[in-house]
Structure 1
């Protein structure tokens, strides 16, 4: 086993192809939605009453949810606002890289054809002293591991 086993999940980077090379648009507090389910279809065979056959149909990917401290003057948010406010969607590919202590990728997920479907900011509350969190939710076609 290498020194990267088991890897820690707190050192990662998100890079959007063609949107921004700013460091602030690559750093997030959390990334959720890198999972896949296989949808199945059931088929009842005549004369077989103990079970139904299940056949794989297609892969199903949930939305990718990115959270970070709110960033002003962000190219990523301009891209999201263009989709939300002007209804002009420009899908992009992005990568999520899990890094080691030398900032080298251990594993990379290539997320294909992502576009924003939700932008959310945390509650404004005068009784709490918390960092303002923004959440960006992206729909995408699929991801591959590198």
Structure 2
């Protein structure tokens, strides 16, 4: 039986694995902030409006209103203060809105075994809206985790 390759995943025979991915903030392709444990929130949903049929009570039409996106959530071990992502988050959350928030473009790539992008998503005008440190527990031996949620204007699938 032949080995499964990236080409066979592209041909639709096997879905790609979800554990090998890369995150890029702005133009910093080789940033130390590219390592994350978990990414969630790559979601688009069409909102609808219910309109009752005039004079005909049996029908309710669902008309499209627009697309909404959930927040993009990234999860990783707590990073040092020198991290560019931590610096950005600190300026947003601890700056008291004294300075304008600087949105960035965030790119997420699902990679193959040769570190080449299989799929990609771009999140435009993203900025942090939540910075959460998970609870500490003295009875467990786990890595201290931070979660950062980003709002964004829109997203596009690249591949």
Q: TM-score range by the shorter chain?
A: over 0.9
Gaps of 5+ in 2: 1-5
Tell me the distance in 2 between the aligned counterparts of 1:53 and 1:36: 21
The count of residues paired between Structure 1 and Structure 2 equals: 145
1:76 aligns with 2:85: yes
RMSD (CA atoms): 1.5
Tell me the distance in 1 between the aligned counterparts of 2:136 and 2:50: 48
Matches within 5 A, 1:36-75: 36-72=44-80, 73-75=82-84
Residue of structure 2 in register with 1:119 after alignment: 131
Matches within 5 A, 1:67-146: 67-72=75-80, 73-86=82-95, 87=97, 88=99, 89-146=101-158
Contact 1:11 1:98 in 2 (8 A): yes
Contact 1:31 1:67 in 2 (8 A): yes
Tell me the distance in 2 between the aligned counterparts of 1:2 and 1:21: 25
Deviation at 1:21, TM superposition (A): 4.8
TM-score of the aligned structures, taking structure 2 as reference length:
0.85
